[in-house]
Amino acid sequence: MDSSEGRELLQDLNIRVEPVGTVPFAAGEATPAEVFEWESVDEHGRAISLTEEQQRGRYREYVERNIGAVLAEKRLCVVGVKEDENILTVRVPGLDIEFAGRTDLLVLSDLVKKYPLELMFLPEVEMLIEVKRAVEPVSDFQALSELIALDLLSKDLVMALLTDLAGNWHFFWVSEMRGTHACIHKVILTKPGEAFQVIRTLLAQSPSADEIRLPGFQDPVKRRKLETMLPIREGGGGGGILESIQRYYDIAGELGPDIEMAREVARQIVTSMPAFSTY
């Protein structure tokens, strides 16, 4: 996905990306961690050529090693997704948009280590990790599309991380409505130790917690499900409206009333009426 396609996707889904500030970590709050070494050498110091699958195995172990305690406590694991597994395939409700793709790593239930075929159902998935040897501006759009797909596939609240495993650690999550737009927030960290502390803190939370505190993040992290904020396609008829209302009640039943969400559903209902459709 190039930049123009990424911007078009966000526009079609009525999504805005908003960067969020950071604050310094408290002394001793984050355990230092080494950056990932992309180069592998043999006993004679000669570079070893690795396949993408072999490289994925190496950085999967690197991530797992740095968050191992919380993985064990929460019965989670880090899984590498094979190149031919389009595990993030989903159709956007009410819109003629379909995602078909994958990511590099997923953090989810350790059940998949015992039963690998269960990976297709993404049990208790918490986050995805898209790994790039070099993070470029266009990389954001790939991570955003993966986050959107995972959010639609998962029943719980999820987060995406785009990283080069060195000085770029970009965290993304679906936040709240701002007017008529759904917001995805983004925070950038530059130190592996701080990034891993964020991941450890995130995984220690309940997957359904809609407002949490993460170290280094300036504000509390408000998390929402994207499906409740997606636009309804014009001409969709009452079925789309009913689906939107039902989604609101489903979320309100789990997380409590959401004023901004209620206002957006009301706006969609009013603008679906012929007398108000041009407003």
Kindly report the pTM of this predicted structure: 0.82
Range(s) of the domain holding residue 190:
3-229
pLDDT of res. 173: 98
pLDDT of residue 49: 84
Query: Considering only CA atoms, which of 23, 24, 6 is closest in space to residue 15?
Result: 6
Report yes or no: 64 and 231 within 8 Å, Cβ to Cβ.
no
Asked if 229 contacts 264 with a C-beta cutoff of 8 angstroms, the reply is yes
The per-residue pLDDT string of the chain (279 residues; one tens digit each, 9 = 90 and over) reads 788 889 999 999 999 999 999 999 988 888 899 999 998 776 667 778 888 999 999 999 999 999 999 999 999 999 999 988 899 999 998 888 899 899 999 999 999 999 999 999 999 999 999 999 999 999 999 999 999 999 999 999 999 999 999 999 999 999 999 888 999 999 999 999 999 999 999 999 999 999 999 999 999 999 999 988 887 655 444 445 555 555 655 656 555 666 666 666 566 555 544 444 444
**Whether residue 270 is found in the same domain as residue 173:** no
Task: Specify whether 177 is located in the same domain as 115.
Answer: yes
93 and 171 within one domain = yes
The pLDDT value given to residue 46 = 76
| pLDDT for res 254 | 58
Say whether both 197 and 267 belong to one domain. Answer: no
pLDDT reported for residue 235: 46
Domain count, the chain: 2
In terms of domains, do 45 and 101 share one? Answer: yes
Residue 261 sits in the same domain as residue 136: no
Phi-psi domain of 171 (left: phi exceeds 0; alpha: psi -120 through 50; beta: other): beta
| Same domain (yes/no): 71, 110 | yes
Domain match, 162 and 259 both:
no
Whether residue 198 sits in one domain with residue 267 = no
Distances 20 to 45, 111, 179 between C-alpha atoms, Å: 42, 34, 18
Are 51 and 77 contained in the same domain? yes
Return the pLDDT at 274: 42
Query: Are 18 and 108 within one domain?
Result: yes
Residues 255 and 218 in one domain: no
- Position 246 scores a pLDDT of 58
